[in-house]
């Protein structure tokens, strides 16, 4: 089959679903979210001033004094519960092609940055800690939006969506729900004829707001959805 005819089949037999209402870059998180990322919230002094700051889970203890870069830290306590007037937010920022998670804590309208780390490394460690291997494997790149990909077999002759297996229809139903929940999503799915062993071949590309993948329940739902196909 000529390349042009094959590409025409791909374009006509693939299905694309787009939800483009809101590309969210920022969200509010609970203290348990930081724990799920493998991060402790600490209260103490930073360069002698009262402050909140963070450290990898279980690596710093009350009474400890240490230096990191140009700053000195003195730990008074590992925070186990946030006061009612304190909230945590995180957003995705990009610098020179690299996405970062910038986490702030807000108390009485005063905001303070407590963490800025590459989004890719934090997300992968979070997914590993939560045992979500399908999502971890599917991530190809991330910025404000993350690209997820999954493929089985090589490209070939396409089959009509009416002939797709039942698990593909179930996947699309759940993936569309999650995309709508996130306010933004793009799902592209195409199926090819079966391989010699009788297995369906397909290609999937799914785009979601990166910040949503840091919500534990949402990430678990995406992983479960990927397991359907």
Per-residue pLDDT of the chain (229 residues; tens, 9 = 90+): 566 666 677 677 777 888 877 788 999 999 999 999 999 999 999 999 999 999 999 999 999 999 998 999 999 999 999 988 899 999 999 999 999 999 999 988 889 999 999 999 999 999 999 999 999 999 999 999 999 999 999 888 889 999 999 999 999 999 999 999 999 999 999 999 888 888 889 999 999 999 999 999 999 999 999 999 9
Instruction: Compute the Cα dihedral for 129, 228, 197, 148 and give only its sign.
Output: negative
Spacing of C-alpha 14 from chain mean position: 25
| Tokens of residue 147, six digits | 């690209």
Global pTM?
A: 0.91
| Tokens of residue 175, six digits | 């993936």
Q: At what angle do helices 216-226 and 119-129 cross, to 10 degrees?
A: 70
Task: For residues 71 and 84, give the distance between their C-alpha atoms in angstroms, rounded to a whole number.
Answer: 28
Are the CB atoms for 186 and 18 separated by under 8 Å? yes
Residue 17: per-residue pLDDT: 85
Are the CB atoms for 120 and 142 separated by under 8 Å? yes
Q: Which position has the token pair 């006509």?
A: 12
Residue 72: per-residue pLDDT: 96
**Helix, strand or coil, per DSSP, at residue 83:** coil
Q: How far from each other are the two terminal CA atoms of the chain, in whole angstroms?
A: 28
* Run of H or E including 10: helix 3-13
Instruction: Name the pairing type of β-strands 65-68 and 49-56.
Output: unpaired
């Amino acid at each position: 089959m000529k390349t042009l005819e094959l590409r025409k089949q791909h374009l006509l037999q693939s299905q694309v679903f787009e939800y483009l209402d809101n590309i969210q870059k920022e969200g509010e998180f609970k203290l348990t979210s930081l724990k799920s990322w493998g991060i402790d919230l600490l209260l103490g002094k930073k360069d002698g001033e009262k402050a909140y700051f963070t450290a990898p889970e279980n690596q710093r203890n009350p009474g400890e004094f240490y230096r990191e870069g140009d700053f000195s830290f003195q730990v008074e306590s590992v925070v186990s519960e946030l006061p009612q007037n304190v909230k945590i937010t995180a957003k995705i920022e990009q610098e020179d092609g690299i996405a970062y998670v910038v986490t702030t804590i807000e108390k009485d309208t005063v905001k303070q940055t407590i963490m800025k780390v590459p989004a890719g490394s934090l997300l992968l460690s979070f997914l590993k800690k939560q045992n979500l291997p399908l999502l971890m494997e599917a991530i190809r790149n991330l910025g404000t939006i993350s690209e997820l990909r999954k493929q089985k077999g090589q490209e070939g002759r396409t089959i009509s969506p009416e002939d797709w297996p039942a698990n593909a229809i179930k996947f699309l139903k759940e993936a569309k729900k999650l995309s709508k929940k996130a306010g933004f999503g793009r799902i592209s799915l195409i199926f090819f004829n079966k391989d010699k062993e009788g297995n369906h071949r397909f290609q999937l590309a799914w785009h979601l707001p990166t910040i949503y993948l840091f919500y534990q329940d949402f990430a678990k739902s995406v992983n479960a959805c990927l397991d359907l196909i």
